[in-house]
């Protein structure tokens, strides 16, 4: 498997520099949490990786492939998936429609192959151990955790190499956080590069292998989870 | 368990409510008028609903995608004028006026869609503007005077019957079937509904939203154009004022049929049921010779009642 | 979802609401079921007082001749397709005769043709279809009754010619809804008549106020701004004429002696004429049209009337005519 590498990535919005030359690597089969205060540049960093923004200087590579100038659609083809905080689900539609949004299976002339999609949906939900009561139910009536699971399952259908998750646990009830964290652990077992943005240090410590703390567009700490403690991280974030 | 599953399906319950409503209404009328349940009257009902029905198919797509099209009736009027002009001045008959009317509708829809995409303004505003523009074009083309006294052949098209049904009603039913297949069975239809549900989700998942919206408005324009052709054959005239307020009736029917006015949920069978509700109501009240003032009242009551009935269905 | 008692109560309430709507529908419909021996009259919108008066004439005529009459109508004068639907509904009831007034000839003829094919006798009321024209279109009319809109315009022009003080007055014309046959002919008749009787008159504007009072007011205001020396306003109906009256009254210029001539003779206009605000209106006699049409319909059904054309006279209502009360036609003015 190939490594995701950032080489002195600089991103500016107008005259404001948001990322000051970020250099780091992400290895397959690891979960990396990016923590930091609001405006620290976490989201910008992730969106730059996902191709939503283009870096002004520096390079991003996935294995041999250079991602620096690719758009969001092309980075997805290269194997980078991003799950937004609001999940980007169509709430009135059922699970199957959401899983295949944008790449529906068709037979001819755009004729939907519904049975095949249902079958594949079942398969992916089963391998992930996701329990959705009725596939025909609108996603909007599912619980937050189930919705999160659908979004993850949808990302997995693309067979990604990198999965970026923006605040996966922020909107969940305590009981459901457990499930989501379990899912994230399964992703690690599959050998994915998982990048989390999260405010919830409890969850970060429960699931991550490595923590990157950011402040004002720079990496101020980059530690393995065994080497650090919650107090340590909080201190890193807070020091001005 | 199966029944429970069906009842949990919002689309199905909406359709069911509409059908129950239709049935009850029909019973009331049948009890009061001996001619209500006769083949002649049933054909009349379908024929009366043909123009508005075709427009409603287009409106279903637009509403499903989370937009509103107020220019459908104006488009319909314009294509009736253009096709009538062709029939009168170029002595063309047969399928050509039908194709021309559809093409005019498609062009109108394409233009509307383009403007919405370019301006990023709410469809309500743009189509409101286009409504005036298309009407104005029809007025200018005809100098305000309807084109009438068309060739006998044209009216004979509208009066032609196949398998007991009139040509306009057959065209409407065919439009419904085609619309149903596109909306419920194809990728394009699925994307239409998904766009209305969450534009952000579609964009995030790489659906080309602008192209999609253009196609939806063009398709809706085609149906309006076809409706314009039917209007032309039925009234044997091209009328710039054709179908004033029809756009609102079409939207009413779509919503009666269980669609979400804000997009994401709509079905063609529901729209058909909605159209039938409105047309049967009018036909029945006509048979009873009830003043049009009460007819208007009942249309309002039906719509409000439908909203009440919606609350009986599963939560959404 | 369904288990709470509250939901159940709400559900019951909704069904009760639904039932009550059907109950109203049922009651209303049982009151007025159609019998097949009734004569059917199809009129344009009853929201227009003119057609209301025709309807009144029909009802009184029905009582006088002992014939049961049903009057059907569309929501608006513009609703052409609805008119067609209404016609087909009427035909499906197989009445002895259908008497039709349609605002467009093409739809009228189409409807009549279908009715005739079903063996129903047909007549027209207040439509510009002559018996000969109908025959050419394959319809054998039993009768055609009404007033000629071209003539209305001509009478108005004649009145203007007789009463205006200048040799070359400035004239403003308020048209009805664009494309409406009545409007077109009333305006056409007026312009032709004026060209004949008062060739030096100058028409400074001819704009559609869509039969509407407020639009008539606004347009006349604008016309007055541009032509402060306006002499005549001719409106294709009384509503627009009354709007023009308001515009003239509120106009700041001193010129108040503008002739305002309307068409129809509705009560409001008559009041305005008596009080001297409006000059005249060319009144049709809708009540007489309605009443007479029932008599003709009865004769037609009895086979005593075929291909008959009857013109109902017009009356020009001025302050003098209204106050002297000597004109015999005045009793039909409603």
Model confidence at B67, pLDDT cuts 50, 70, 90, reads: very high
Å between C93 CA and nearest CA of chain B: 6
C21 Cβ under 8 Å from any chain B Cβ: yes
Contacts of A62 (CB under 8 A, 6+ apart): A2, A3, A4, A5, A78, A79, A80, A161, A162
pTM for the full predicted model: 0.82
Searching chain C, which residue's CA lies closest to the CA of residue B52?
C81
Q: Closest partner residue to A112 among B186, B202, B316, by Cβ?
A: B186
Find the mean pLDDT for residues A195-223: 89
Q: Maximum CA pair distance of chain C? A: 86
Q: Most distant CA pair in chain B: distance in Å?
A: 63
Q: How far apart are CA B76 and CA C8, in angstroms?
A: 45
Cα distance between residue B163 and residue B176, in whole Å:
18
Q: Which residues of B touch C90 (CB under 8 A)?
A: 286
pLDDT score at C12: 61
B190 touches chain A (CB under 8 A): yes
Contact state of A104 with B187 under an 8 Å Cβ cutoff:
yes
Residue C3 banded pLDDT, cuts 50, 70, 90 = very low
C234 has pLDDT over 70: yes
pLDDT digits over A47-76, tens only? Answer: 999 888 899 999 999 988 898 888 888 888
B198 pLDDT higher than 50:
yes
Yes or no, beta carbons of A92 and B316 under 8 Å apart: yes
Chain A CB within 8 Å of residue B186 CB: yes
The residues of A whose Cβ lies within 8 A of any Cβ of B are 72-73, 76, 84, 86, 88-93, 97-98, 101-104, 106, 109-112, 134, 136-138, 140-141, 154
Kindly state the average pLDDT of the residues B193-209. 91
**What is the average per-residue pLDDT within C151-173?**
93
Residues of chain C numbered 180-199 and touching chain B (CB < 8 Å): 184
- B238 band by pLDDT with thresholds 50, 70 and 90: confident
Give the pLDDT confidence of B95-140 residue by residue, as tens digits. Answer: 899 999 999 999 999 999 999 999 999 999 999 999 999 999 998 9
Mean pLDDT of all residues in C86-110: 83
The per-residue pLDDT for B302 is 81
Q: Which residue has the higher pLDDT, C227 or B108?
A: B108
Where in A148-201 does DSSP place strands (E)?
162-166, 193-197
Question: Is the confidence at residue B258, as pLDDT, over 60?
Answer: yes
Strands C97-100 and C121-125: parallel
Residue found by looking up tokens 């009582």 in the block: C63
Q: Which residues of B touch A86 (CB under 8 A)?
A: 200
Average pLDDT over residues A36-41: 85
Q: Cα separation of C186 and C264, whole Å? A: 11
- pLDDT mean over C164-193: 89
For residue C145, the cross-strand partners are C125, C310
Cα of C42 vs its chain's centroid, Å: 13
Mean pLDDT, residues C211-218: 87
Q: CA A196, CA B206: separation in Å to the nearest integer?
A: 22
- Are C150 and C182 in contact, with CB atoms under 8 Å apart? no
Give per-residue burial for C113-134: e unless 16+ CB within 10 Å, then b.
bbbbeeebbbbbbbbbbebeeb
pLDDT tens-digit profile of A66-124? 988 888 888 888 889 999 888 889 999 999 999 999 888 898 888 999 999 999 898 88
**CB within 8 Å: C179 and B240:** yes
Q: In the predicted model, what is the mean pLDDT of residues C155-166?
A: 93
CB atoms within 10 A of CB A239: 10
Mean pLDDT taken over chain B: 88
Top mean pLDDT of B71-75, B162-166, B294-298 is at: B71-75
**What pLDDT does residue C8 have?**
54
Q: How far apart are CA C39 and CA C95, in angstroms?
A: 6
Q: What is the side-by-side order of every strand in the sheet holding C69-73? A: C69-73, C39-43, C97-100, C121-125, C143-146, C308-311
DSSP string, A41-63: SHHHHHHHHTTSS--SEEEEEET
Contact A98 B8 (CB under 8 A): no
Residue ranges with strand state E in chain A: 4-13, 16-26, 30-36, 57-62, 65-66, 80-83, 162-166, 193-197, 210-215, 218-224
Question: Cα–chain-centroid distance for residue B166?
Answer: 18
**C-alpha span between C220 and B169 (Å, rounded):** 46
Q: Express each pLDDT in A124-180 by its tens digit.
A: 888 887 777 778 888 888 888 889 889 989 988 888 899 999 988 887 888 888 888
Q: Looking at beta carbons, which residues of chain C come within 8 Å of B296?
A: 75
Instruction: Determine the pLDDT at residue C114.
Output: 86
Interface of C with B in 83-142 (CB under 8 A): 84-86, 88-90, 92-93, 104-107, 110, 114
Give the chain B residue nearest C46 (alpha carbons). Answer: B292
More confident residue, C186 or C254: C186
Token pair belonging to A93: 């539609």
Q: How many C-beta atoms lie closer than 10 Å to residue B200's C-beta?
A: 15
């Amino acid at each position: 498997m190939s490594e995701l590498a950032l080489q002195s990535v600089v991103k500016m919005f107008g005259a404001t520099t948001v990322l000051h030359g970020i250099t780091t690597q992400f290895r397959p089969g690891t979960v990396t949490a990016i923590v930091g205060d609001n405006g620290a540049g976490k989201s910008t960093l992730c969106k730059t990786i996902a191709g939503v923004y283009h870096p002004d200087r520096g390079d991003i590579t996935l294995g041999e492939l250079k991602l620096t100038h690719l758009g969001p659609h092309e980075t997805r083809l290269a194997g980078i998936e991003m799950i937004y905080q609001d999940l980007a689900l169509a709430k009135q539609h059922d699970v199957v429609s959401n899983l295949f949004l944008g790449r529906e299976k068709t037979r001819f002339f755009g004729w939907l192959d519904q049975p095949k999609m249902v079958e594949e949906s079942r398969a992916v939900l089963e391998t992930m151990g996701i329990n959705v009561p009725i596939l025909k139910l609108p996603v909007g009536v599912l619980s937050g955790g189930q919705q999160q699971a659908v979004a993850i399952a949808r990302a997995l259908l693309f067979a990604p190499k990198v999965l970026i998750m923006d605040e996966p646990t922020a909107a969940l009830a305590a009981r459901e956080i457990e499930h989501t964290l379990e899912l994230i652990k399964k992703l690690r077992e599959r050998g994915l590069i998982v990048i989390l943005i999260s405010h919830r240090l409890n969850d970060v410590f429960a699931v991550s292998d490595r923590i990157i703390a950011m402040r004002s567009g720079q990496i101020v700490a980059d530690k393995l989870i065994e080497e650090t403690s919650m107090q340590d991280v909080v201190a890193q974030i807070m020091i001005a | 368990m199966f029944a429970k599953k069906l009842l949990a399906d919002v689309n199905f319950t909406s359709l069911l409510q509409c059908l129950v409503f239709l049935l009850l209404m029909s019973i009331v009328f049948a009890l009061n008028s001996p001619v209500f349940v006769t083949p002649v009257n049933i054909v009349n009902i379908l024929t009366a609903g043909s123009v508005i029905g075709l427009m409603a198919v287009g409106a279903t797509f637009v509403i499903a995608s989370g937009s509103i099209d107020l220019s459908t009736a104006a488009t319909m009027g314009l294509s009736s004028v253009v096709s009538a002009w062709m029939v009168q001045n170029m002595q063309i008959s047969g399928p050509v006026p039908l194709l021309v009317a559809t093409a005019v509708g498609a062009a109108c829809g394409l233009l509307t869609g383009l403007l919405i995409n370019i301006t990023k303004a709410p469809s309500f505003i743009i189509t409101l503007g286009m409504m005036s523009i298309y009407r104005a074009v029809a007025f200018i083309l005809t100098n305000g005077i309807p084109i009438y006294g068309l060739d006998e052949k044209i009216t004979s098209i509208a009066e032609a019957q196949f398998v007991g049904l009139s040509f306009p009603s057959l065209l409407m039913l065919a439009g419904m079937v085609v619309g149903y297949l596109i909306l419920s069975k194809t990728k394009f239809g699925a994307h239409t509904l998904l766009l209305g549900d969450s534009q952000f989700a579609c964009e995030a998942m790489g659906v080309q939203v602008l192209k999609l919206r253009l196609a939806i408005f063009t398709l809706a324009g085609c149906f309006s154009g076809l409706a314009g052709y039917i209007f032309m054959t039925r009234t044997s005239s091209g009328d710039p004022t054709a179908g004033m307020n029809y756009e609102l009736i079409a939207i009413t029917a779509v919503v009666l049929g269980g669609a979400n006015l804000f997009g994401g949920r709509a079905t063609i069978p529901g729209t058909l049921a909605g159209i039938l509700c409105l047309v049967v109501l009018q036909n029945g009240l006509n048979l009873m010779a009830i003043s049009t003032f009460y007819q208007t009242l009942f249309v309002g009551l039906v719509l409000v009642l439908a909203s009440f009935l919606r609350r009986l269905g599963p939560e959404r | 979802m369904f288990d709470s008692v509250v939901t159940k109560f709400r559900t019951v309430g909704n069904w009760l609401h639904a039932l009550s709507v059907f109950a109203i529908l049922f009651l209303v419909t049982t009151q007025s079921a159609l019998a097949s021996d009734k004569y059917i009259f199809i009129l344009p919108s009853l929201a227009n007082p003119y057609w209301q008066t025709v309807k009144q004439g029909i009802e009184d005529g029905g009582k006088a001749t002992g014939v049961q009459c049903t009057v059907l109508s569309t929501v608006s004068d513009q609703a052409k397709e609805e008119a067609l639907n209404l016609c087909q509904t009427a035909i499906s009831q197989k009445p002895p005769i259908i008497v039709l007034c349609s605002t467009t000839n093409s739809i009228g003829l189409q409807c009549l043709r279908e009715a005739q094919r079903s063996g129903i006798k047909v007549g027209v009321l207040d439509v510009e279809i002559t018996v000969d024209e109908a025959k050419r279109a394959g319809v054998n009319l039993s009768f055609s009754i009404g007033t000629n809109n071209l003539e209305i315009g001509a009478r108005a022009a004649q009145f203007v010619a007789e009463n205006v003080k200048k040799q070359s007055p400035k004239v403003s014309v308020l048209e009805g809804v664009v494309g409406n046959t009545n409007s077109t002919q009333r305006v056409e008749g007026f312009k032709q008549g004026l060209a004949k009787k008062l060739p030096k008159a100058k028409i400074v504007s001819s704009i559609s106020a869509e039969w509407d009072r407020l639009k008539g007011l606004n347009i006349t205001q604008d016309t007055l701004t541009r032509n402060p020396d306006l002499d005549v306003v001719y409106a294709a109906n009384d509503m627009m004429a009354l709007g023009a009256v308001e515009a003239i009254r509120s106009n700041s210029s001193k010129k108040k002696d503008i002739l305002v001539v309307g068409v129809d003779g509705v009560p409001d206009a008559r009041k305005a004429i008596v009080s001297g605000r409006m000059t005249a209106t060319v009144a049709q006699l809708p009540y007489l049209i309605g009443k007479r049409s029932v008599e003709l319909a009865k004769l037609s059904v009895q086979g005593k009337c075929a291909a008959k054309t009857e013109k109902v006279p017009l009356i020009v209502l001025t302050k003098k005519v209204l106050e002297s009360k000597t004109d015999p036609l005045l009793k039909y003015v409603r």
